[in-house]
Amino acid sequence: MRRVPMHPRLLKTFIAVARSKSFTRAAEEVHLAQSSVSDQMQSLEAELGTALFTRSKQGLELTQAGETLVSYAQEILALTDEARSAVAATAGHEAGSVSIGALETIAAVKLPAWLSAFQNNHPDINLRLKVAGSGDLLRKLESGEIDVAFCFDHGGLDARFVSRVIATEPLILATPPVGKFAAGKPDLAELAAMDFLTTEVGCAYRAMFDKAFAEAGMVAPKPAAEVGSIGAIARLVAAGAGIGLVPRLAVAEALDRGEISELPWPGPTQTVSLMMIWRRRRVQPPALRQFLEAASDHFTPARSADVRLRHARSSPS
C-alpha cells in the first residue's frame, strides 16, 4: 500500500489539533478550513496505521500513539526550521528574524533599551516580541512559536531547553507608603497573618509566593485577593488593600513614583533569577545565534576577563 509521507504541513496541523483539542480551533490557528484539517488528520492516521485522537465530552483527546507522536512531530518541525536557516545562511541570504517572548514586566522594564540598541546594531534582523505568562511562554517555545523566552526561574525545564541566568532580582514586600511596618522589619509570624495580594495559581509570581513561604517552613497564607497582573497588585497595595511579595523589578516604577514602599523579605531565599531560555538545536540559526550572544554579553555579568574572552569566542548551545 502506498503511504503518504509525514509532510511538515501535516505535522504542524497535528500539533495544533493536539494543543487545542478541537478541529475548529486548530483550523483557525493554521488558517485552513475545518474539513481540510479533518482530511489531513485522516491522512496522517492512514500513514501511521493507527488512530491519533479519540472523542470525549471535553473534546478530542490524544491516544497513546498520539501522545508518542507529539514530541517527534515537534522535533521534526524544529529540524525543518533549522535546515531552512542553515541553507539560507550558506546561500548568503539575509540574517533572518528572531521571535522573543517575555513576561509583561520584563518586556516593559528590562528589554526595551537593549532591544532598541540591538536593532540599531543589527538592522538586517527582524525582531518580534510577544508578551505572555510563564506557562504560555514555555508552550510557545516548545512549539517553535518563539525562539527565546525571558521569564523568572521556576524550575522544571527538561533537556530540550537551554537556560541562562541573566540577572538576579531582590524579592521584596511591597507595602503601602505608610504602613504598620514603617518603624521596623516584620517577622515571618507577623507576615503569616497579613492580607497578601497575589496573582493566580500557575503564574510565575504566585509560584514565587508559595515557594518563599515553603522555604521558610510555613504554609503560605490564603491570599486576600488574587489579581490578574503585578501592575494591579501595585495599585491595590498603594490603596491599602494589602501587601505583596514580588520581585523588585516587577514594581520598580511604582516604587520610583513613591506610590508604594518596600521592605526586605525575611525568608531564607531573598532573590529570584531572571532567565533567558531557548530550545537546544543541532544548528543555531544565524540571527538567533547573534541575538543570544548579544544578550549574554549585555545581561550576564562576566566573572573574569578569561570568562569574557572564552564567551566572545564561543556560540550558545
Q: Compute the average pLDDT of residues 18-46.
A: 91
Catalogue the E-assigned strands of 94-147: 96-102, 125-131
**Percent with pLDDT over 70 in the chain:** 87
User: Going by C-beta distance under 8 Å and a sequence separation of 6 or more, which residues neighbour residue 127?
Assistant: 97, 98, 100, 115, 118, 119
Map residue 288 onto helix, strand or coil.
helix
> Predicted confidence band at 180 (pLDDT cuts at 50, 70, 90)?
low
Instruction: Please give the Cα distance from 13 to 110 (Å, whole number).
Output: 35
List, in sequence order, the alpha helices (H) in 144-246: 188-192, 204-215, 230-238
Catalogue the E-assigned strands of 83-160: 96-102, 125-131, 148-152
The pLDDT assigned to 285 comes to 79
Amino acid, single-letter form, for residue 60: L
Query: ∠142-5-286 over CA atoms, to 5°?
Result: 40
Q: What is the pLDDT of residues 69-85, one digit of tens each?
A: 998 888 888 778 777 76
46 grid coordinates: 492512514
Q: What is the pLDDT of residues 51-109, one digit of tens each?
A: 999 988 777 899 999 999 998 888 888 778 777 766 766 666 555 789 999 988 899 88
**Model-wide pTM > 0.75:** no
Element (H, E) at 107: helix 104-109
271 grid coordinates: 532573590
